[in-house]
Homo-oligomer: A and B are copies of this chain.
């Protein structure tokens, strides 16, 4: 009877009762950095602290790591949109088919031109919105106040995927079709200068136009403001805090730049390091706000980057592909430098502070993990979810799984002229084995990450069985998922994975 009365009351006062029902759900923040490499931090994700870990000043990441667990084998895809789509949908790129970054312009492939291949049949307008259930939608349905701040980049302008409000977010601040800001500077209106604005002019932050406020600071201030509402309403929130930093344009944050020059860094590195410091302050400001509001103990923070650090010369200094050492190469590559990313999870009372977890996990795992954190493991989705929740690893430090396969697939051309495992490459990891497959020529190489993190010793010839096993897994997965593939210009045929 009492239950019935409560139900009737809830019906009458549904908003209030929604609060009561969900008040104990944790708040969740995904702090997703753009293009941040595995080594770009004072937190060592490698076996020991390297020189780079001493150069980057990230006190707030260090504090987060001290209060949580760092994942040393966390993976993204080699470029941003595929990772963001995997997080949003729980699908691997072989399934969602958004294998490359999406243009701000509709129906426009971002693939560079190639002599051998015509473009792959990838989803260049993002996933078809009617074919997916996103986790922000599910969180919102369960009573979460869902907020997106910063870079979205799920689809071109004029497609439903370009607008976070179509994807389950109730609030969108500055997220749209573009993958980077036109400018990080308030003095430049973040690009919104009459007659000079590009597709990358950042929306929504007009209050800071003409001021000295760095974009990362403006996004952080607005993110914090946006949290006032769910706190006031006493409902749990999910914040997708997706800083545009540290993506190009590499523009120094003047609050931190000089200190790196003083440390002796060259201008390119000092500029970049100042953007990392700016991003770290963003994290710290949010953490301080949670503490001030007395909700830090009920708020999960997940720190992650959307792909490896940029390792092209120019923006990142005179020499290419050394920025993520000991990892090989960087953004765009299927070597570890392009896909292995910093990841930290703080979950008060659940995660043991100041710990490390070496289990390999990947972007699509965020979908089921976040839902499990919110108490929503039992949900139905339109799409088949490839990701596996990493929550068990948060709860039990001793759990490991070396039998799982991870797969990467980049049937696209990122830059003119191929680089190390850059352009038309697929890869598979199982345990410590990692296979790199060159789609141009069917060449396979095999590495053992346990003793060759830098992927310099191809041991495929000595290990034909595991090489074949991983190649076969790649072939079967691509076929099963009808994954995008390049086409030969010579005969218009689709590339097929060759098994020796």
How does the 8 Å CB contact mask read for A217-237 relative to B, with 1 for contact and 0 for none? 000000001101110110100
Whether A157 contacts B147 by the Cβ 8 Å rule is: no
Inter-subunit contact A209/B232 (CB<8 Å): yes
How far apart are the CA atoms of A30 and B260 in the complex, in Å?
49
The interface stretch among A196-204, A412-420, A460-468, A489-497 is A196-204
Please measure, in the bound complex, the distance between the C-alpha atom of A192 and the C-alpha atom of B193, giving whole angstroms.
32
Query: What CA separation (Å) do A226 and B209 show in the bound complex?
Result: 9
- Answer whether A229 and B165 are a contact pair too, CB < 8 Å, given A170-B194, A171-B203: no
B207–A204 touching, CB < 8 Å: no
Among B139, B157, B210, the residue within 8 A (CB) of A232 is B210
Query: Does A143 lie at the interface of the complex (its beta carbon under 8 Å from any beta carbon of B)?
Result: yes
Taking the closest CB of chain B, its distance from the CB of A138, in whole angstroms, is: 10
Q: A140-B197, A193-B15 are in contact. Are A203 and B172 (CB under 8 A)?
A: yes
In the complex, what distance in Å separates the CA atom of A196 from the CA atom of B142? 10
Q: Does A476 contact B (CB under 8 A)?
A: no
Cβ contact within 8 Å between B158 and A171: no
State whether B229 touches A195 (Cβ < 8 A).
no
Q: Is A176 an interface residue (CB 8 A)?
A: yes
Q: Are A226 and B207 in contact (CB under 8 A)?
A: yes
| Given A226-B206, A233-B210, A194 and B160 contact (CB-CB distance below 8 Å) | no
Is A163 interfacial (CB-CB < 8 Å)? yes
* B-contacting residues, A91-145, CB 8 Å: 106, 129, 139-145
A209 to B237, CA, bound (A): 13
- A189 contacts the other chain (Cβ, under 8 Å)? yes
Q: Mark A140-154, 1 if CB is under 8 A from B, else 0.
A: 111111110000000
State in angstroms the CA–CA spacing of A106 and B161 once bound together.
13
Mark out the residues of chain A between 408 and 431 whose CB falls within 8 Å of any chain B CB in the assembled complex: none
Q: Known: A141-B195, A157-B160, A158-B158. Is A233-B209 also a contact (CB below 8 A)?
A: yes
Give bound CA distance, A189 to B15, whole Å: 11
Assuming the contacts A189-B229, A194-B143, A226-B206, asked whether A158 and B157 have C-beta atoms less than 8 A apart, the reply is no
Q: How far is the CA of A162 from the CA of B158 in the complex (A)?
A: 8
Q: Whose C-beta in chain B lies nearest to the C-beta of A141?
A: B195
Which residues of the partner chain B approach A211 to less than 8 Å between Cβ atoms? 232
A159 within 8 A of B: yes
A17 within 8 A of B: no
User: How far, in Å, is A468 (CB) from chain B's closest CB?
Assistant: 45
B233 near A189 with CB under 8 A, answer yes
Write the nearest CB–CB distance from A357 to chain B, whole angstroms. 32
Say yes or no for A166: interface residue by CB 8 A criterion.
yes
Is A55 interfacial (CB 8 A cutoff)? no
A147 touches B195 (CB 8 A): no
How distant is the Cα of A334 from the Cα of B129 in the complex, in angstroms?
Answer: 39
Closest CB in chain B relative to A361 CB, distance in Å: 28
**Cβ of A209 and Cβ of B229 under 8 Å apart?**
yes
Is residue A18 contacting chain B, with contact meaning CB distance below 8 A?
yes
Closest to A236 in B: B194
Contact residues in B for A145 (Cβ distance below 8 Å): 192, 194, 209
**Contacts beyond the supplied A18-B194, A208-B229: 19 A-B pairs with Cβ under 8 Å:** A15-B188, A18-B193, A129-B158, A139-B194, A140-B195, A140-B197, A141-B195, A142-B194, A143-B194, A144-B194, A145-B192, A157-B160, A158-B159, A170-B206, A189-B229, A206-B225, A207-B229, A210-B229, A210-B232
List 28 A-B residue pairs with CB atoms under 8 Å apart, sorted by A's residue number. A15-B193, A15-B196, A18-B195, A129-B158, A139-B194, A141-B194, A142-B194, A142-B195, A143-B195, A145-B192, A145-B194, A145-B209, A147-B206, A157-B166, A158-B158, A158-B163, A165-B203, A170-B192, A170-B206, A171-B204, A172-B203, A172-B204, A189-B233, A194-B235, A207-B228, A209-B230, A209-B232, A211-B232
Nearest 10 CB-CB pairs, A to B? Answer: A158-B160, A209-B229, A210-B232, A210-B233, A171-B206, A170-B192, A143-B194, A141-B195, A206-B226, A140-B194
